[in-house]
Amino acid sequence: VCEHLHLPVQSGDDTVLRRMGRQYTVEHYLERLAAIRAAVPAISISTDVIVGFCGETRAQFESTLRLLETVRYDQVFAAAYSPRPGTPATKLADDVPADEKRARLNELLALQEGIGLERNRAWVGRDVEVLVDTVVAPRSHDHEEGTAAGPGQSLSGRTRGNKLVHLRGGPELLGTFVNVRVDHAGPYALRGSATAS
């Protein structure tokens, strides 16, 4: 079993969670998360968050920001609320203005980008095992995080903690485990060079 868990929280406010029909509180969520981290100390945690859910106030949104600061997720998948046909939420007023939803989403993503960068920097200088699964097609607009310098093609893969790692090498590495020395961290991915096993 790999050391990664996707544990959706959706909101950091109990009132919003009840309105969403969730069967847990923030306290319950944090208790479970603490037990998981105690059992698997190096586990990486990702989550889902919805901003601008029906009736969400600024204070309730700020509770979600505080939760991100407390938990320090490795990765957050966030979206602004939009009604989905057939869901109970369609009976609620979608009363958070679209521009406010966008602003909240951008604020949350900016906060998480800093947290992700901090968490990823802890990997610089370490050797990690990577399951190489992708040949990355060259793109003219690649930024530094998404490219790896050196001979061979740009490849990527995942660590046991589901960290995305970019490296250089030949297509024969696809589907294999490669030891990689991490030399760069960005908010969303690591970059490194293959080392001798």
What are the angstrom distances between the C-alpha of 137 and each of 69, 98, 144, 147, 165? 35, 35, 15, 10, 15
pLDDT category at 50 given cuts 50, 70, 90 is: very high
Residue 39 pLDDT more than 90? yes
Contact 138, 164 (CB under 8 A): no
Taking all residues of the chain, what is their mean pLDDT, rounded to a whole number?
A: 93
pLDDT category at 1 given cuts 50, 70, 90 is: confident
Per-residue model confidence (pLDDT) at position 152: 75
Q: How many CB atoms lie within 10 A of CB 103?
A: 15
Per-residue model confidence (pLDDT) at position 150: 62
Structure tokens at 68: 């991100």
Could you read off the pLDDT of 104-150 as tens digits, one per residue? 999 999 999 999 999 999 999 999 999 999 999 886 655 555 555 56
Could you read off the pLDDT of 75-116 as tens digits, one per residue? 999 999 999 888 888 889 999 999 999 999 999 999 999 999
The DSSP code sequence of 115-148 is: HHHHHHHTTTT-EEEEEEEEEPPP-TT--GGG--
